């Protein structure tokens, strides 16, 4: 899997979206083969650290009765509740000690699928002179999609690591890749 990792350069960032227990098999909102992204992303995170490239990880982090949950009239079974076991990163994910964590899904007025949505992330990354962002994680057709599209709008050169992401539905995954490509994302 290492041969696909490009030579990193200054201005690059690795962004890992929501690789949490609830999105993996056995979790509250399991994504088929969601756990298969873990070894791939571990290799990318290792390479990034060796190259001095910052690693950011987002986490879905909902209040207990979040409006995105079915009992509250939302779309999803309750998942990634703040401080719950299911909200933890996958136990095999090798989170670098100096990684930055981006918390989202905390808004009370609407769901927050994008790691750029009211987090201040875009301004911060522009200040750090980040130009290219490599993205993997879960789910390809939900939070990865929303994050990649927002990253394009914010002027970053977005790269989707296809083998490091899995969709909620196969059809949704295909459509998501098409939307990301049309927005200018490199699919690698």
Residue ranges in contact with ligand VGL by CB under 6 A: 18, 29, 60, 76, 138-139, 142-143
Complex with ligand VGL: residue 5 or 139, whichever CB lies closer: 139
Instruction: Rule CB under 5 A: say whether 60 interacts with Zn ion.
Output: yes
Q: Which 68-107 positions form the footprint of Zn ion (CB under 5 A)?
A: 105
Q: Which does 18 bind (CB under 5 to 8 A by kind): Zn ion, ligand VGL, none?
A: ligand VGL
The answer to whether 21 and 144 are in contact (CB under 8 A) is no
Instruction: Rule CB under 5 A: say whether 141 interacts with Zn ion.
Output: no
Complex with Zn ion: residue 22 or 35, whichever CB lies closer: 22
Q: Which does 5 bind (CB under 5 to 8 A by kind): Zn ion, ligand VGL, none?
A: none
The answer to whether 95 and 141 are in contact (CB under 8 A) is no
Q: Which does 16 bind (CB under 5 to 8 A by kind): Zn ion, ligand VGL, none?
A: none
Task: Please state the closest distance from residue 34 (CB atom) to ligand VGL, in A.
Answer: 10
Q: Which residues contact 171 (CB under 8 A, 6 or more apart)?
A: none
Complex with Zn ion: residue 12 or 60, whichever CB lies closer: 60
For the beta sheet containing 12-17, the strands, ordered from the edge strand earlier in sequence to the opposite edge, are 100-104, 55-60, 12-17, 132-138, 157-166, 186-187
Task: List residues with catalytic annotation.
Answer: 18, 104, 143
What are 160's strand-pairing partners? 135, 187
Complex with Zn ion: residue 48 or 148, whichever CB lies closer: 148
Instruction: Give me the sign of the Cα torsion angle 97, 62, 12, 36.
Output: positive
Instruction: Give me the sign of the Cα torsion angle 18, 19, 20, 22.
Output: positive
Instruction: Rule CB under 5 A: say whether 117 interacts with Zn ion.
Output: no
| Alpha carbons 133 and 153: distance in angstroms, whole number | 13
Which residues make up the interface to Zn ion (CB under 5 A)?
60, 105
């Amino acid at each position: 899997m290492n041969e696909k990792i490009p030579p990193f350069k200054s201005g690059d960032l690795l962004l890992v979206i929501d690789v949490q227990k609830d999105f993996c098999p056995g979790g509250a909102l399991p994504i088929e083969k969601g756990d298969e992204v873990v070894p791939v992303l571990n290799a990318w995170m290792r390479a990034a650290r060796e190259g001095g490239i910052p690693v950011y990880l987002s986490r879905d982090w909902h209040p207990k009765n979040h409006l995105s949950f079915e009992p509250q009239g939302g779309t999803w079974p309750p998942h990634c509740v703040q401080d719950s076991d299911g909200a933890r990163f996958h136990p095999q994910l090798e989170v670098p000690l100096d990684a930055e964590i981006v918390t989202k899904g905390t808004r009370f007025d609407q769901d927050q699928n994008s790691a750029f949505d009211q987090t201040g992330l875009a301004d911060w990354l522009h200040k750090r002179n980040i130009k290219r962002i490599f993205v993997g994680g879960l789910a390809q057709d939900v939070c990865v999609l929303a994050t990649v599209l927002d990253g394009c709008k914010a002027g970053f050169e977005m790269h989707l690591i296809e083998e490091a992401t899995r969709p909620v539905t196969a059809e949704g995954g295909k459509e998501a890749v098409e939307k990301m490509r049309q927005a200018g994302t490199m699919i690698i």
